[in-house]
């Protein structure tokens, strides 16, 4: 009986990642030995659109690779050590970057930025040299700054394509659906809302008015829901008592966005999800990157959708978002100036 239950669970997990064709893709995870990288590697191993996984980290990646390689799916897995980054990137079509450190007690945002900015810049430099046509998915925080760092690094190398660089903001979308589902008593499948802006605090703008159940939330309940979506990460850090951050839910969100991109690359139509990309919607305000609904296709970003109608509350949230987002982007640019 236990065996049947386990089999059903694995089957359900595998079906959670949609497929659109037989074509598969080689994917690299840079930072595969970390708190996000390990469960992300596991989830990508069971994604049927992944043909080969290259797992890289400064330590631990070969062990992670050996572990997940035993999973009974078709994809192959290989782990690479600190001095094998170029080998890990050879022939890769999609690069997912969860590398870096989480924010820890006593660490300032500047501390986090300085550490992760250097890591992301160096990894982007290698991707630009070895796999210049790869699609780069940035998970490393602060995403509002690390994505501009990747873009500017690739620009300096002469290989930046704005259709191929993504900040993974999917966890904000996942949280919004889950939390709205909780307060409205509905299945999260029915409470999906677009989340626009950036990927930290007040730059996260959930457009609850664009969902029938979200539109019904008002007053203190609305304010509490928005705050929970914006600062959900703090909830996890507190619950883990300083021992970690949102690694498992972030790995799930990262795998979910990677699968969406792979479906688009394989030719599936109508794959639309928010992601933090080069976006002109607020370029006149000095905001070069912005998360909004994007259609993913064979070239990566195929179409960027307008953010749509906003409620009065959402207008205020957006007004608060833009100045902070601009500063975050400028900080990323300045790092590689």
User: Is 286 annotated among the ligand-binding residues?
Assistant: no
Known catalytic residue at 199: yes
* Cβ(3)–Cβ(36) below 8 Å: no
Report the alpha-carbon distance of residue 285 to residue 50 in Å, rounded: 39
Q: Is 36 annotated as a binding residue?
A: yes
- The answer to whether 141 is a known ligand-binding residue is yes
Flag whether 149 is marked binding.
Answer: no
Q: Is 131 annotated as a binding residue?
A: no
What angle, rounded to 10 degrees, do the helices at 37-45 and 61-68 form?
30
Q: Is 33 annotated as a binding residue?
A: yes
Distance (Å, rounded) from C-alpha 316 to C-alpha 51? Answer: 45
Per DSSP, helices labelled H in 162-272 are 170-184, 212-215, 219-230, 232-239, 248-265
Cβ atoms 278, 151 nearer than 8 A: yes
Is 152 marked within a binding site? Answer: no
| CB count in 10 Å sphere of residue 76 | 14
Q: Is 8 annotated as a binding residue?
A: no
Is 109 a known ligand-binding residue?
Answer: yes
Active-site residue among 26, 93, 135, 199? 199
Cα–Cα nearest to 63, from 74, 50, 77, 73: 77
Known binding-site residue numbers for NAD(+):
31-37, 57, 116, 139-141, 250
> Which are the catalytic amino acids?
199
Known binding-site residue numbers for substrate:
103, 109, 141, 175
Known binding-site residue numbers:
31-37, 57, 103, 109, 116, 139-141, 175, 250
């Amino acid at each position: 009986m236990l065996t049947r239950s386990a089999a059903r669970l694995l089957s359900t997990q595998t079906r959670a990642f949609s497929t659109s064709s037989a074509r598969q893709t080689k994917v690299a995870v840079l930072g595969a030995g970390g708190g996000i990288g390990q469960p992300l590697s596991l989830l990508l191993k069971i994604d049927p659109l992944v043909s080969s996984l290259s797992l890289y980290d400064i330590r631990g990646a070969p062990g992670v690779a050996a572990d997940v390689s035993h999973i009974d799916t078709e994809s192959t897995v290989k782990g690479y050590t600190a001095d094998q980054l170029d080998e890990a990137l050879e022939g890769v079509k999609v690069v997912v970057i969860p590398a870096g450190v989480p924010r820890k007690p006593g660490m300032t945002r500047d501390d986090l930025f300085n550490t992760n900015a250097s890591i992301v810049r160096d990894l982007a430099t290698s991707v630009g040299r070895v796999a210049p046509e790869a699609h780069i998915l940035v998970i490393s925080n602060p995403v509002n700054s690390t994505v501009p760092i990747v873009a500017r690094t690739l620009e300096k190398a002469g290989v930046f394509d704005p259709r191929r660089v993504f900040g993974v903001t999917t966890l904000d979308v996942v949280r919004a659906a889950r939390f709205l589902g909780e307060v409205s008593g509905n299945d999260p499948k029915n409470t999906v809302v677009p989340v626009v802006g950036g990927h930290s605090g007040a730059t996260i703008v959930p457009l609850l008015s664009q969902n029938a159940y979200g539109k019904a939330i008002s007053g203190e309940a609305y304010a509490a829901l928005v705050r929970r979506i914006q600062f959900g990460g703090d909830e996890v850090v507190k619950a883990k008592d300083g021992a970690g951050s949102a690694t498992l839910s972030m790995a799930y969100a990262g795998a979910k966005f990677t699968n969406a991109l792979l479906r688009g690359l394989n030719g599936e139509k109508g794959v639309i999800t928010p992601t933090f990309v080069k976006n002109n919607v607020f370029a006149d305000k000095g905001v070069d990157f912005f998360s909004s609904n994007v259609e993913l296709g064979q070239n990566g970003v195929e179409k960027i959708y307008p953010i749509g109608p906003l409620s009065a509350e959402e207008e205020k949230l957006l007004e608060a978002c833009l100045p902070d987002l601009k500063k975050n982007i400028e900080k990323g640019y300045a790092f590689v100036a």
